Amino acid sequence: MRCPFCNDLEDRVVDSRTAQEGRAVRRRRECLACGKRFTTYEFIEERRLQVAKTDGSTEPYDRNKVLRSIQISCAKRPVTAADMEAMADAVEDALSGHPGDAVPSRLIGAHLMDVLKDRDNVAYVRFASVYRNFQDLEEFYDELRDLDARRLRAAQARGQVELQLPEAETE
């Protein structure tokens, strides 16, 4: 490792520990020529994810696109920046096990919908309305009924009694 102070190549490792939740190793080094200390990080070289778009083209996976989608969906919702980062991490973790060279964009959207549904129903409906291209209010109502039924089943499984909202009238 080249010393950032004197450019010498001889150093010794003073301390090593895991970093970034086990995804990296942090090494504290001391230059044998000038005696100054510096820090390096080692990461596993991961394969670069490719995204297969619906038009047949491919492009490199961009975490920022996923994060922007989460941020837009969670605007003015009680979701912290750390929560949004965790959701993006969850999507990436789900994608990391995907076989093949390219991950279909629809799979990224599906994973994103799953993490949003588990975190915030309003953010989920916001994302789903764009992702599924809702065309009318009935599609919104259907999605809301599904969410309400899911919430009711979860409450019943926990032994809690909740009132169910009345069905929306259709004309």
List pLDDT tens digits, range 43-53: 876 668 889 99
Q: What is the dihedral of CA 97, 99, 102, 108, to 10 degrees?
A: -40
Overall average pLDDT of the 36-42 stretch: 94
Higher pLDDT, 167 or 99: 99
Higher pLDDT, 139 or 111: 111
CB 30 within 8 Å of CB 42: no
CB 10 within 8 Å of CB 32: yes
- Please report which residue ranges of 15-169 form alpha helices under DSSP H: 63-73, 81-96, 105-119, 121-131, 137-157
The chain-wide mean pLDDT, for the chain, equals 86
User: 64-86, pLDDT tens digit by residue?
Assistant: 999 999 999 999 999 999 999 99
Amino acid at 120: D
What pLDDT does residue 62 have? 92
Listed in order, strand segments (DSSP E) in 10-91 are 11-19, 24-31, 37-43, 50-52, 58-60
pTM of the predicted model, to two decimals?
0.59
- Fill in the DSSP letter of residue 44: -
What pLDDT does residue 111 have? 92
What pLDDT does residue 166 have? 55
Which pLDDT band holds residue 1 (cuts at 50, 70, 90)? confident
Which sequence spans correspond to the domains of the chain? Answer: 11-43, 50-133
